Amino acid sequence: MDIKYKFVDLIGSSYRNGPVRFLPDNFSLLCANGNRLKYFDLKRNTSFTSEIQLKCNIVAFDINSTGTHAIVGDERGNCTLIHLGSDVILYRRNFRQKIRALSFSNDSNFVAIGTQGKVFIFSVADISANQFVPLALLNRFIHSENKINAIGWSFDGSLIAVAGNRIVKIFKTVPDSSKNLGGFTFGERASVVGVWFFNENNQFLSVDKSGMCSIFELEDNSEKLIFERKISKCLTSLIGVTTHLGLLSASVNKQKKLLATGFSNGTFCIFDIPGLSLLQNFSIGDKQINSINFNSRGDWLAIGCGRGMDAQLLVWEWQSESHILKQQSHSQTITAIAYSPDGSILATGAEDGKVKLWNCATSFCTVTFTEHETGVTDICFTQNGKAVLSSSLEGSIRAHDLKRYRNFRTLVAPKQTQLHLLCADFSGDIVAAASRDLFEIYVWSFETSEVLDVLTGHSNLINGLTYYENTLCTVSLDKTMKIWNIVDGGNCLETVNLLNEGLDVKYSPNGSLLAVLCYDSNINLFNTLNTSQIGIIETKLDIDAGRQRIDKVKKTTSEKNKTFTCIAFSPNGQLLLAGGQSNIFCLYSVADRIKVRSFKLSSNYSLDGVNLDINYRKMTEFGNLDLFDLTDSDEEETNPKKRIRLPGTKHTDLSERAVRPTISMSKIAFSPNGLDFAVACTEGVCIYSLTKPRRFDPLQLESNVTPKEILNSTINGEHVNALSLALRLNDKEIVERTIEAIPVEQCKK
């Protein structure tokens, strides 16, 4: 029984409120996804999410010129240097202020970090440099009291341009006495979005939010550095827009001399430099473009648009005017997940009424079904894997063909009601769904779409529905579990009284056990032959729910109202997974009735409920200070409370408000092979696996560098050669096994 599950990917959320950057190889893309980095390989058509978690949401990051390292900053001022090849953290530093901008120099020997009005210059450790720490502070500047939006390096790294609120300043990276040491200040009309040196003559370009673009040139003077504004044009007037339009993002390709800009209405434009003539003008909808980036060849554009969960990622080839990549997340909370019978497809349903199918091998969304008019509540596959069924609050069940991708059958409830639970029998001939408000179970024939029976008997909300052979089992808030025989007219075979309200029920894969999760967080195990209780798994002490910012009671009191809400059996029936209203979910042994492993969903403190307790220094007589709007800024990105549109819609997109989303789980699903399981939570769908995919990154690989050759060298006592080959193959397990095989007497002191 292997329980070494590890986080491998986060799907259902491709991009969220952060920068997007191409790697130097032109085919790889990095984007921010909450407090993680998501990697897209456009050449191999794959993607994965980094296992590294920052403490808060990522607001800025940059990649060095070789694509081996990335510098990442979050909302709380934590800066992290990451090695992208091995996915490990090399250096951490806390600036205690929100990091606004990050940028490597062109030769990657320096990195500039901008916070609230200050710029820090660090030298990056190199093999040839005698520097112990990965980043060593070299210089610092005071830009202004306002925030810093962008940083640009000159080609030789001697000058650095720092852009803030209507101010662009030029500093020398390392002060010397040959030329004047002061900064050069240039005024702009609005807050500056970006600044770049685009040639070796130290010409630089700046773009502000009003759409004004300015180009400055360095005058030929050996005594002083003097910059002069040569060109100043309004980009919004060049594209024929007369109304107020905000420019939110921009990118420059220095090789092709191209400028790309993204606007608040979903329009992006491409201009040439330095003439600033319009080359292309396109619109991708009404979502604002938060980030835009050229690849090094200048033929592809990465575009991150939208905010919060309603965000999407695009890669656009502007010369052929075609999409290379288009991935869109669910715009609202994911409520249902299910694996296909062969484990190759993961289906997700959300409150936005969409059903998405994700390829488990590539983590890409292959198709989206939009027939539902209201939120999707549950999903299941037919046993042959040719169709996926989904129920919704509109009272219908829709079946979609996985070959033609069409809605070929719709099952409608006999009464106007909301359906929130769904299951199908092994053969796929019978479909059952539970009503949310009428406390009834409807049974359909999948072939004829006719209602076969209506099962009544529960007096409160039905929370669990599971099917095995001809038997249907349900649990409800009325503290009862009912077992129904679908073949013999839907008779209730037995009613079992529970000690507490039932929250979920599952049959074991072989049908010998029934697991019932109750409101007291106990999992009751029943023998299906005589419906007798044979055991209980106590999970109350394993929840360890964090305290939310709105909680006015202590953590110990708040935990009494928290419980696990969903369970799932492993395919072999030996393990049981449970999770719910907590950042923790646990894996239990069915035979031993004990916890064998616990997992932590997220370490993102931008979410509510991650902290085990609140900061008492922020508690006042009026409540927690985190719940108040303490800024006087009128900008949307720093004052989200000014963007509240509709009250009473807390369950939808919380990114439109200052309220932080609460970490929780809604569904759990095991893959049919038992090697993976998926967890639907606030951030998306987290995938955990026993076989973690690893990027093959060997060193000096040759034909004789193979695991078999390493094993033969170890057996023959050639430990030096075996260790050399293992290090070149760069496989962690093989390296560890080779080192452990070396005799102690051969290790020199």
Share of the chain above pLDDT 70, in %: 88
Percent of the chain clearing pLDDT 90 (strictly above):
45
Nearest to 241 by CA among 221, 261, 216: 261
Mean pLDDT across the chain: 85
How far is 99 from 76, CA to CA, in rounded Å?
8
Residue 187 — very low, low, confident or very high, per pLDDT cuts 50/70/90?
A: low
Kindly provide the residue ranges of all beta strands, DSSP E only, lying in 343-497, ordered along the sequence. Answer: 345-350, 355-359, 365-369, 376-381, 387-392, 396-401, 407-412, 419-424, 430-435, 441-445, 451-455, 462-468, 471-476, 480-485, 491-497
251: pLDDT strictly greater than 50: yes
Query: Residue 61 contacts by C-beta under 8 Å, 6 or more apart in sequence?
Result: 18, 19, 21, 30, 32, 37, 70, 71, 72, 73, 102
In this structure, of 181-190, 593-602, 629-638, 665-674, the range with the lowest mean pLDDT score is 629-638
Rounded Cα distance between 351 and 331, Å, is 8
Tens-digit pLDDT profile for residues 346-387: 999 999 899 999 999 889 999 999 999 999 999 999 988 889
Regarding predicted confidence, which is higher, 129 or 270? Answer: 270
- pLDDT given for residue 642 in this prediction: 41
Tokens of 484: 């129904």
Examine the pLDDT at 654 and tell me if it is beyond 50.
Answer: no
- More confident position, 567 or 133: 567
Residue whose token pair is 């002191």: 749
743 burial type by CB count under 10 A (0-12 exposed, 13-18 middle, 19+ buried): exposed
Greatest mean pLDDT among 128-132, 199-203, 632-636, 679-683 lies in 679-683
**13 confidence band (pLDDT: 50, 70, 90):** confident
Taking 80 as the threshold, does the pLDDT of residue 701 lie above it? no
- For residue 639, what pLDDT band results from cuts at 50, 70 and 90? very low
Position with higher pLDDT, 232 vs 617: 232
545, β-bridge pairs = none
Amino acid letter for position 33 = N
For residue 656, the model assigns a pLDDT of 41
Nearest to 93 by CA among 65, 54, 131, 128: 54
Per the rule left: phi > 0, alpha: psi between -120 and 50, beta: everything else, 382 is beta
For residue 698, name the pLDDT band (cuts at 50, 70, 90). Answer: low
Helices (H), 625-731: 707-715, 719-729
What's CA 36's distance to the chain center, in Å?
6
Residue 660 has what pLDDT? 77
Burial class (CB in 10 A: 0-12, 13-18, 19+), 374: middle
Q: What does the pLDDT look like over 559-584, one tens digit per residue?
A: 777 899 999 999 999 999 999 988 99
- Better pLDDT: 338 or 44: 338
Residue 643 is predicted with a pLDDT of 46
Task: Annotate 279-335 with three-state secondary structure.
Answer: EEEEECCCCCEEEEEECCCCCEEEEEEEECCEEEEEEEECCCCEEEEEEECCCCCEE
Note the pLDDT of residue 421. 93
For residue 381, the SS3 value is strand
pLDDT tens by residue, 715-734: 988 888 888 888 888 777 88
pLDDT of residue 377: 94
Confidence check: pLDDT of 311 > 70 = yes
How confident is the model over 428-458, as pLDDT tens digits?
889 999 999 899 999 999 989 899 999 999 9
Mean pLDDT, residues 173-183 taken together: 55
Q: For tokens 């999770």, name the residue.
A: 579
Contacts of 71 (CB under 8 A, 6+ apart): 61, 62, 79, 80, 81, 82, 102, 104, 111, 113
Could you tell me the pTM of the whole model? Answer: 0.85
Res 244 pLDDT > 80: no
What is the Rg, in whole angstroms, of the alpha carbon atoms belonging to the chain?
Answer: 29
CA dist 591 and 512 (Å) reads 13
Cα–Cα distances in angstroms (integers) from residue 155 to residues 106, 159, 553, in the given order: 6, 8, 57
pLDDT exceeds cutoff 60 at 636: no
- Six-digit token string for 184: 């050069």
